[in-house]
Amino acid sequence: MRVSDDLSITQDIKGVTMYREKIRVLDCTIRDGGLINNHDFDDRFVRAVYTGVAKAGVDYIELGYKNSRELFSSSEYGHWKFCDDDDISRVIDGVDTNIKVSTMVDVGRVDIDDVRPAADSPVDMIRVASYVKDIDKAIFLANHFSDKGYETTINIMAISRDSGPQFEEALHQIKEDCLAQAVYIVDSFGALYQETTEDLIKRAQAILDSKEVGFHGHNNQQLAFSNTIEAIIHDANYLDGTVYGIGRAAGNCPLELLIGFLKNPKFDIRPILDLISNEFIPLREKIEWGYIIPYAITGMMNEHPRTAMKLRNSDKKESYRDYYEELLGSMQ
């Protein structure tokens, strides 16, 4: 009976704990939040988030993308678009914590020569974001970074559009050829709900076997947290969240809700509450994310939020019906 999967009554394999020790929480506040401010968070803010998230007992913190400066200009983007080791060291040095640092790379946007061996870097993990069609390139990158000593994952994006036979083929290939320790299902469009999440997690697990499965939700339809719970129920162990749900468009699974749900006593919600009170309530006055109707509409329609983001920057930002009709029209 499904209810017997309830975390609160699941016994750990050691037989004594109520929580699942294998669960790893990754905070990607600075990385996904950076998508709404050109990755231009100042050092004080990043250090505050790093410190708070570390105190909360979170396992990993992702600070941004490792993009090539050949492709993006330093004058247009902040530090966290490039994640130089020196910038990372400056914001994390002196904080007493075991939290691991992650950066993300996009297929086709990283210069692998920019990445030093892990032994010489403050970065512990590199996550490779990829569409299904680019999985060969993603495997190459993940293996390259694994060889340099990093923990690696592959994060398969736009999964709600691409969950057919090619998705399974990609998973088989990752299983055969890739050193990555985990594969994330990324609901880029915020289009999944419980049953579709369950289906994807189970299919990934069946193919990947000993690799871990992760989940990264988007909150277009207020389902990022519940889909993350659904992933937990079906044994996904790598879970993403962001403080106060910050992230592009509708944002992500709120880290405070995830921490509040998990039973592992190593987690402490209080430093996250402080971050929200002191940093994110003021920040939300300046930049926008969260439950906003045009993003809900793209989620329902399984569309990229880009047209909705454009709408929110126009003088028609609250013209929901017109936007809905336009989007419907553009799909026909």
- Which residues of this chain interact with its own copies, rule CB under 8 A? 2-3, 5-6, 193-196, 198-199, 219, 221-227, 229-230, 233, 245, 254, 256-257, 260-261, 269-270, 273-274, 276-277, 281, 290-291, 293, 296-297, 300, 318-321, 324-325
The string of DSSP codes covering 31-45 is HHHGGGTTT---HHH
Sign of CA dihedral 138, 139, 142, 147: negative
CB nearer its own copies, residue 198 or residue 235: 198
Closest distance to its own copies from the beta carbon of 27 (Å): 17
Length of the chain: 332
Reported as type and span, the H/E element at residue 148 is none
Among the listed residues 289, 305, 182, the one whose alpha carbon sits nearest the alpha carbon of residue 246:
289
CB nearer its own copies, residue 180 or residue 255: 255
Taking a C-beta distance cutoff of 8 angstroms, is the pair 213, 243 a contact? Answer: no
Please state, in angstroms and as integers, the Cα–Cα distance from residue 224 to each residue in 52, 181, 245, 273, following that order: 22, 23, 9, 19
CB nearer its own copies, residue 76 or residue 325: 325
Q: What's the rounded Cα separation, in Å, for the pair 204 and 186?
A: 12
Closest distance to its own copies from the beta carbon of 221 (Å): 5
Q: Which long-range contacts (CB under 8 A, 24 or more apart) does 170-176 make?
A: 170/132, 170/135, 171/203, 171/204, 171/207, 171/208, 172/207, 173/135, 173/136, 173/139, 174/135, 174/139, 174/208, 174/211, 175/207, 175/208, 175/209, 175/211
24 phi and psi angles, rounded to 5 deg: -120, 125
Closest distance to its own copies from the beta carbon of 297 (Å): 8
Closest distance to its own copies from the beta carbon of 189 (Å): 14
Structure tokens at 49: 């988030």
Closest distance to its own copies from the beta carbon of 270 (Å): 5
Residue with tokens 């809700």: 257
Q: What's the rounded Cα separation, in Å, for the pair 78 and 64?
A: 10
282 phi and psi angles, rounded to 5 deg: -65, -40
CB nearer its own copies, residue 138 or residue 276: 276
CB nearer its own copies, residue 18 or residue 273: 273
CB nearer its own copies, residue 61 or residue 201: 201
CB nearer its own copies, residue 160 or residue 221: 221
CB nearer its own copies, residue 176 or residue 195: 195
Closest distance to its own copies from the beta carbon of 38 (Å): 26
CA angle 168, 249, 239 (to 5 degrees): 50
Closest distance to its own copies from the beta carbon of 326 (Å): 12
- For the chain, the maximum distance between any two Cα atoms, rounded to a whole number of angstroms, is 59
Closest distance to its own copies from the beta carbon of 223 (Å): 6
CB nearer its own copies, residue 53 or residue 297: 297
Closest distance to its own copies from the beta carbon of 199 (Å): 5
